[in-house]
Amino acid sequence: MGEYVLEMNNIVKVFPGVKALDGVTLKVRPGTVHALMGENGAGKSTLMKCLFGIYHEDGGEIILDGKKENINTSKQALELGVSMIHQELHPIAYRPVMENIWLGRFPMKGIAVDHKKMYKQTKELFKKIELDIDPAALAGTLSASQLQLVEIAKAVSYNSKVIIMDEPTSSLTENEVEHLFKIINQLRSEGRSIIYISHKMEEILKISDEVTIMRDGTYVGTWPSAELTTDLIINRMVGRDLTNRFPPKTYKTSDEPIMEVNNLTATNPKSFKDVTFTLRKGEILGIGGLVGAQRTELVEAIFGLRGIESGTIKVHGEDYKAKSVADAKKHKIALLTEERRATGIFGVLSVLDNTVIASQKNYAHMGVLQGAKRREAAVTSNKKLNTKTASMETLIKNLSGGNQQKVLLARWLLTDPDILILDEPTRGIDVGAKYEIYTIMQSLAAQGKAIIMISSEMPELLGMSDRVMVMSAGRNAGILNKEDADQVEVMRLATKYLES
Amino acid sequence: MEEKSMSFKKFYTSFTIIGAVIAIFGVIFHFLQTSNGWKKLYDLPWFIVIIGVFIAGYSIFKNLTNKNEDAVVDMSSRAIKMFFLNNGIKIALGIMVIIIMIIEPNFMKLKVLRDILAQASPRMIIALGICFTLLIAGTDLSACRMVGLAAVISASMMQNPDYANRFFPDLPHLPVIVPIILAILACMIFGLLNGFLVARFDMHPFIATLATQVIIYGACSLYFDMPPNNSQPIGGIRSDFSAIGQTLLWKDKLPSNIGGIPILIPIALLFIIVIWFVLNKTVFGKNVYAIGGNREAAVVSGINVPMTIVGIFVLASALYGVGGVLEAARTAGATNNYGVGYELDAIAACVVGGVSLNGGVGKVSGIIIGVLIFTIIQYGLQFIGVNAMWQQVIKGVIIAVAVAIDLSKYRGK
């Protein structure tokens, strides 16, 4: 084995009209964790897809174990010892976990699948990485974080030399991240290499040995992690100085309550219970908590998407029943959902259609649309948010994550909400776009709008919120003022009602 | 890779010129034909004129609607390849038509074109209805039976008073509009049932409309079997009713090589315009695309999804009803087996025209092309004497090939 287990030299990949990769180099040493960083659209995923045989590079070479390889299919990549854990998981929900893992290479007994052996193999595999999941459980019954760990187990089962992890912690809680790091350390000590893609600086600095940074499809450089700091990484990623990750607060919050939630309890007994809080005009109220704290469920119920068993909500002092989305919109509440792709964008529709869909009635007379008015609304609101798109007719699925998020924000701003609920507004968005979204949030608060922001990223939660409400096992564990909120306090509250 | 491009304006202006040249050439050709007596070429010059005018008109329209001054047209080899991929089925159709014209020069008659359009008209209306259900990633298997139902109901009340075998022997003379409305209303009731099953129970449209299809056929047969008719084909249709499907407009004013325009063509045109408007210019239409594009996101956006779904199925059934009435009028008769297979033809036409079964994608222009392709091929193959069994084989191959080409656009590595 040479110095590197994997060398990708001068990789070029061209899509119609775009040069997605322009001479990118990635060299990974055996037995190391190699972080790959860059803003969204920098080409990290494209590079990894070339390695994993999903795309074929238009130029450059891939050398595995000193041998030049031409990888055309994912199957081939797996056979060559490269496995990939995708950012978005697509398990076969109605099949057992073990079948998901061994799909395509089931242990056989004659012409029949040997389920007993499969079960045993899976059990052993899980034991190795300390995963406590029944191999026969249906994949659909697992939580997102469990699935992530199962995916990792699958990668381990291929006995891969190189494991690509694309944002593996985006749906994990802090404890689970610790668990993941333990697994990664174990893999590293076995001599495997891990290519680790993440936006989370703290994680990168903690787990990785080397960092390769990309920008706009080009190679910026590779550095040992020990020589890097968060600021240095950000600098090199964006190619400009970004002294502050959060814009300075310039607005003043009032004490005037805009929404009062009293003892709200969900119809689903496993969901939130007895939640009470007040939202004030012109403030950003952060909601923190672990995965499973029912934060999304709470705001979806307030938005009329889920059943409410008991409790009251008052908006502007008036009773609000939260029976439907139409009801919520009437009370000037807007919700930017957590799952951008699943419940946010209409991928096959244009930016224009996507922007105006929630406020369509404003540009219609007796059900007939007024094209010019509609277009103008979409153009102005996207311009305000600095959305980058080739035209209003571009399909939204062709935009980067950050720009998609801005279109969604534009969509809801067009409904002219007083209360804007943002569920993980910057998930999977690059640093530059994040900063822009923060600025937008602050300017909305300055206009007197109230914002509820659910965030699982501690720095964001602490940096952006005027107050932080922490939820634990479906209950409000406490509300912290900005001055009192720190990581330790939030974590203490987040685990308050957890049964151990 | 070399990047070639051309300004949008220049590109389409050159096409306007090319179109004009072709049209003028057609006119000159026509005069040459009359002076030289090239009878064998029939109306070929006029076809050339039509093609020329179409190219010129389309490019002028493109230029007028273009808002971006700096737009360019990608002329790289890749873009040209994409063009052929995108329009493969249309090009194949063109080649086929030329082959048919060479084998049977009779095909080069304006009357043939007219008959094809007339034949396509009822199918067009049915396809326009079914496209709504496809746009929300659904389907509608009950379309065929609704056509039959509307045909039977309307025909049963529109028989001549002196016809021996009347469905309702004592029925007074009804205005034509009454049975038409009754027939369409009957369809809409079943459309409501479709919509209710899909929206209220979240039933897959395939199953919901399958159930409705069977119910409608049963109900229609019961009606058809009522004494004194006892399942006899309905005949003796009043001429004022059959006129809706058979009238030739401007029969005396147009030159003899056209000989009048079947009224079905303007009727279909009217529905094309209405449906285009509904899909592109109304809140309802936008909601249809949104529900098909991402149902969950549509719910979150505050769209009333159940109501929209009910609306879709009711609107679609009304269109099938219209199709059924036209079929009864065109053939001056009806049985309970009218319309069999129409739903699959309509779905195939939509899909060939680029409507995605995954929902959210599809245009009226595509549906027009889809319907025309099927009609032209059926008519053309009959014209050159290909037997019916081979016609079926060819039709199936076209569906598979067209959709394969369409899908390969999206794959590309």
Is residue B89 in some structural domain? no
Same domain, B110 and B62: no
Same domain, B63 and B112: no
Domain end point (choices B58, B75, B92): B75
Same domain, B10 and B155: no
Long-range CB pairs of B347-350 (<8 Å, 24+ gap) are: B347/B130, B347/B134, B347/B139, B348/B374, B348/B395, B348/B399, B349/B123, B349/B127, B349/B373, B349/B374, B350/B127, B350/B130, B350/B131, B350/B134
- CA–CA separation, A99 and A75 (whole Å): 17
Q: Six-digit token pair at A240?
A: 């400009």
Is residue B297 in some structural domain? yes
Query: Is the CB of B282 inside 8 Å of chain A's CB atoms?
Result: yes
Range of B362's domain? 104-408
Same domain, B67 and B201: no
Is residue B70 in some structural domain? yes
Mean pLDDT by groups of 10 residues along chain B of 413 residues: 67 86 86 78 82 88 76 75 77 85 84 88 94 94 95 92 85 90 96 95 94 95 89 89 85 75 92 94 92 90 92 96 94 91 91 88 91 89 88 87 75 48
- CA–CA separation, B129 and B317 (whole Å): 7
**Is B343 or A432 the better-scoring residue by pLDDT?**
B343
Lowest mean pLDDT among A237-246, A330-339, B373-382: A237-246
Give the model confidence (pLDDT) of B313-340 as tens digits: 999 999 999 999 999 999 999 999 999 9
At B368 the pLDDT is 93
Domain end point (choices B22, B57, B75): B75
Same domain, B7 and B124: no
Query: Is the CB of A111 inside 8 Å of chain B's CB atoms?
Result: no
Cβ within 8 Å, pair B413-A56: yes
Q: Which residues pair with A288 in a beta bridge?
A: A470
Domain end point (choices B25, B55, B75): B75
Same domain, B216 and B360: yes
DSSP letter string, A155-169: HHHTT-SEEEEESTT
Chain B residues near residue A346 by CB distance under 8 angstroms: 289-290, 293-294, 297-298, 360
- CA–CA separation, A230 and A210 (whole Å): 14
Is residue B46 in some structural domain? yes
Radius of gyration for chain A, computed over Cα atoms and rounded to the nearest angstrom: 24
Cβ within 8 Å, pair A369-B283: yes
Residue A311, classed as helix, strand or coil, is strand
Is residue B25 in some structural domain? yes
Query: Is the CB of B290 inside 8 Å of chain A's CB atoms?
Result: yes
Lowest mean pLDDT among A12-26, A71-85, A113-127, B213-227: A12-26
Same domain, B255 and B196: yes
- CA–CA separation, A468 and A463 (whole Å): 10
Is residue B83 in some structural domain? no
Is residue B131 in some structural domain? yes
Same domain, B24 and B124: no
- CA–CA separation, B67 and B62 (whole Å): 10
In chain A, which residue's Cα lies nearest the Cα of B283?
A367
Amino acid at B117: L
Instruction: Taking the CA atoms of B183, B187, B188 and B189 in sequence, report the sign of the dihedral they define.
Output: positive
Chain A residues near residue B78 by CB distance under 8 angstroms: 16
Same domain, B110 and B149: yes
Residue B335, classed as helix, strand or coil, is coil
Name the percent of chain A lying above pLDDT 70: 96
Is residue B96 in some structural domain? no
At B77 the pLDDT is 77
Same domain, B68 and B114: no
In chain B, which residue's Cα lies nearest the Cα of A357?
B301
Cβ within 8 Å, pair B283-A364: yes
Give the model confidence (pLDDT) of A179-215 as tens digits: 889 889 988 998 999 999 987 788 888 999 999 999 8
Cβ contact B258:B46 at 8 Å: no
At A169 the pLDDT is 80
**Is B251 or A386 the better-scoring residue by pLDDT?**
A386
Q: How many domains does chain B have?
A: 2
Same domain, B48 and B153: no
- CA–CA separation, A146 and A155 (whole Å): 14
At B269 the pLDDT is 94
In 3D space, the residue among A63, A68, A57, A71 whose CA is nearest the CA of residue A21 turns out to be A57
Same domain, B258 and B379: yes
Q: Which of B68, B82, B294 should we substitute to test contact with A (largest number of A Cβ atoms within 10 Å)?
A: B294
